[in-house]
């Protein structure tokens, strides 16, 4: 019997990337006998993985890693619409990806798949890098801190997503575990 699958989309967000990867590695170990996690990396996500020096780690821990060629290649959107995945998780999601999905701009692999999945009522879980307005500190690949000001406009897109059917916004990487428990425990 084939195991159910989920599509994990990784975008160009550096904030929470290392923490999310570590958490997803733990989830993969815990749920490996119950679910296949397929990772889809956007072009910007690929750059961020290399910038943070973790691209090899990703390929070591996850069997199926696909990198964006264009908005329809690999053919993620179609496979999501056909019900080949229980849900789509985008973690972390850059403010660019969040705004594209909120504004219905499917011009990248991840935004296109998310929008097409929403149209087919496939649950979408999003961990935005810019969750709430204010100042946050993120860590750069060299270990230095970077102060980021999250603006009202970024948060408005997140609020818009949270109102969409079968779309769930999560705040922290550890919230992902609850999603897997809901589906596979």
pTM: 0.94
Contact 156/172 with Cβ under 8 angstroms? no
Residue 136: per-residue pLDDT:
83
Residue 7: which pLDDT band, with cuts at 50, 70 and 90? very high
How crowded is residue 5: how many other Cβ atoms within 10 Å of its Cβ? 16
- The residue range of the domain holding 83 is 5-184
Is 1's pLDDT higher than 80?
A: no
pLDDT of residue 34: 95
- Domain count for the chain, please give it: 1
User: In this structure, is the dihedral angle defined by the CA atoms of residues 26, 72, 128 and 85, taken in order, positive or negative?
Assistant: negative
Cβ-count burial 90-120 (b if 16+ within 10 Å, e if not):
bbbbbbbbbbbbbeeebebbbbbbbbbbbee
Model confidence over 41-51: pLDDT tens digits? 999 999 999 99
pLDDT of residue 128: 96
Residue 13 CB partners (closer than 8 Å, separation 6+): 45, 48, 92, 93, 94, 95, 97, 128, 129
Q: CA distances (Å), 100 to each of 46, 61, 82, 117, 145, in order?
A: 18, 29, 22, 14, 27
pLDDT of residue 172: 95
- Please tell me the distance from the alpha carbon of residue 140 to that of residue 156, in angstroms, as a whole number: 26
pLDDT score of 106: 95
pLDDT at 149: 83
- Quote the DSSP letter at residue 8: E
What pLDDT score was predicted for residue 153?
87
Look at residue 142 in the predicted model and tell me its pLDDT: 87
What confidence score (pLDDT) does residue 139 get?
82
Residues 34 and 107: their CA atoms lie apart, in Å, by 32
- Residue 157: other Cβ atoms inside 10 A: 20
**Mean pLDDT along residues 63-77:** 94
Assign residue 159 the CATH number of its domain.
Answer: 3.40.50.1950
Alpha carbons 184 and 139: distance in angstroms, whole number? 32
pLDDT tens-digit map of 84-139: 999 999 999 999 999 999 999 999 999 999 999 999 999 999 999 988 888 888 88
What local confidence, expressed as pLDDT, does residue 174 receive? 94
d(CA 98, CA 168) in angstroms, rounded, equals 12
CA proximity to 39, closest of 61, 62, 16: 62
At 127-182, the pLDDT tens digits run 999 888 888 888 888 888 888 888 888 899 999 999 999 999 999 999 999 999 99
Token pair, residue 94, equals 């850059």
């Amino acid at each position: 019997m084939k195991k159910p699958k989920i599509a994990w989309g990784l975008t160009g967000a550096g904030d929470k990337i290392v923490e999310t990867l570590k958490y997803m590695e733990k989830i993969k170990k815990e749920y490996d006998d119950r679910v296949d996690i397929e990772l889809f990396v956007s072009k910007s996500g690929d750059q961020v993985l290399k910038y943070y020096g973790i691209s090899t780690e990703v390929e070591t821990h996850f069997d199926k890693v696909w990198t964006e060629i264009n908005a329809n290649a690999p053919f993620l959107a179609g496979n999501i619409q056909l019900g080949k995945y229980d849900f789509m998780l985008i973690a972390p999601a850059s403010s660019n990806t969040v705004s594209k999905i909120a504004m219905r701009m499917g011009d990248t692999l991840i935004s296109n798949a998310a929008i097409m999945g929403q149209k087919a009522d496939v649950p979408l879980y999003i961990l935005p890098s810019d969750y709430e307005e204010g100042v946050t500190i993120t860590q750069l690949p060299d270990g230095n801190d970077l102060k980021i000001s999250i603006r009202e406009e970024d948060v408005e897109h997140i609020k818009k997503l949270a109102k969409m059917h079968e779309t769930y916004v999560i705040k922290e990487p550890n919230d992902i575990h609850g999603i897997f428990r809901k589906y596979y425990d």
